[in-house]
Every structure is written in C-alpha cells, then in structure tokens.
Amino acid sequence: MDVKIFINNYREAFGEKAELPIVFWYSDIPLAETEKINGCFFKGLKAVREGNPISLNAEVISCVGGKLYTGFSGVLERVPNFVSVKEKYKKTPEMVIDFIESLDIPLTNQKYLNFAHIDTVETFEKVEGILFLATPDILSGLATWTYFDNNADDAVTAMFGSGCSAVVTNAVVENNRNGKRTFIGLFDPSVRPYVEANILSFVIPISRFREMYYTMRESCLFDTHAWKKVRERINAE
C-alpha cells in the first residue's frame, strides 16, 4: 500500500475540496511535542487538520475517559457514575460498566498515540486506523465503497461511545481480531463542539483498509453517473 497513490485516488474520487483523512498509531517516541489538552482531546485535532501532528499520552490527555479509551489507563471508579448520572448517556452506572467490559479495551504497552494528516506521513506501517471527518455526501461515498466487497450486516457500524471510543478503541479492538467492520461516530454530544455541525467520523481500521485500498478504483467512486453527481456537489460547496 502506497500513501501517495491512496491520496491521489482519494482526490480523484472525492475531489479537491474533500478533506484528506487523518491516520493514527502508537509509538514509543512522540511524533510531536504536545501540551496538555484540557477536556476532550479532540480539541487537538484542529491542529492535525491544519497539518500539525500531535502525540498523546496519559499526561497530555486530561479526560479520564480519553485515557481509558486510548488504552493509557484502566477504568477509574468515577467513570460509570459520571457517564450515567452527570452526562446521562446511559440509564445506570451498571450499564456503563457492561458497555466498557464488552469492549475489552487493551492497555497499550507503548508510550504515545500519534495523530497526523495523511499527507504528512510516508507509510501505513504501524497505523491503527484511517479517520475521515466527513459530510453526509462524503459518508455516502465511504460507506458505499465499504459495502462494495462486503455483504456483512456490520460492514458499517454506528456504536454507542465517546468520540475517542468511536475512533480509537473501535479501531484497535477490530485490528486485534483482524476484523472487517468500519465505524461511523462522533454522535457523542460531548465531542460535537469540536467538529463542524455537518461532520461525523468514519474510521477504517487497518485490518480492513488492507482490503479496501485495492477495491477503491473498482467501486462506484470511479466512472459512475450517480457518484459523479454527488462528487460535483461536494466540490461545489
């Protein structure tokens, strides 16, 4: 898989106005010096979208949920009550515990989680996932591309979870099982202020991207009348 070839294919499929995706991966050496991010670490993705990478760890991430869902810590005692009683995202703390346990989040043995704009990296080696911040029209293309060679009911999923869970946890867990699911996310109201009103996330874990990389030009994203009309609208905005 070649990063430059993928970028060229993506631009040809979606047009120049479609935002390029972000890649994320773990390492023992930080890609960039990153100051502590108070609150949701998705605040830091603004810099990444502008071409400046960030490297997260348990000190940079202040949110206890962010530390949990990125694998830098286990479940802290106050998380279930906070998600249920304070945020009111689940009816009971016990439901929160059940949800977290069902994810089976692995603790990372590496020191940093890096996020970088795809056009600033040279390889997909060690990448956990590809994160698209997408409008409905772009989501249409991404989902249709995903369905092209996969008839499974969960080929595209929309699971409950925080922004960091929808992006990082789901990709890591899926890679560990060599799974084929992709994930729509950023439904969590807590993360919504840090993306535009018409943006959701679409994450392709690397275990699935290894297949999809080769199917892109075969799919409806190239040489079809229907997608051409959508592509024109994406680039007319």
Nearest one of 60, 48, 177, 56 to 119, comparing CA atoms:
48
Q: Quick one: average pLDDT of 177-197?
A: 96
Q: Which of 163, 100, 108 is nearest to 131 (CA)?
A: 163
List the domain range (segments joined by +) for residue 46: 3-236
pLDDT at 237 > cutoff 70: no
pLDDT at 145 over 70: yes
In terms of Cβ atoms closer than 10 Å to its own Cβ (0-12, 13-18, 19+), residue 142 is buried
Distances (CA, A) of 180 to 16, 90, 131, 132: 28, 27, 15, 17
203 pLDDT tier (thresholds 50, 70, 90): very high
Q: How far is CA 92 from the centre of its chain?
A: 27
Mean per-residue pLDDT over the chain, rounded: 95
Rounded Cα gap, residues 225 and 127, in angstroms: 34
Q: What would the pLDDT profile of 63-97 be if each residue is shown by its tens digit?
A: 999 999 999 988 777 888 989 999 899 999 999 99
Query: Total domain count for the chain?
Result: 1
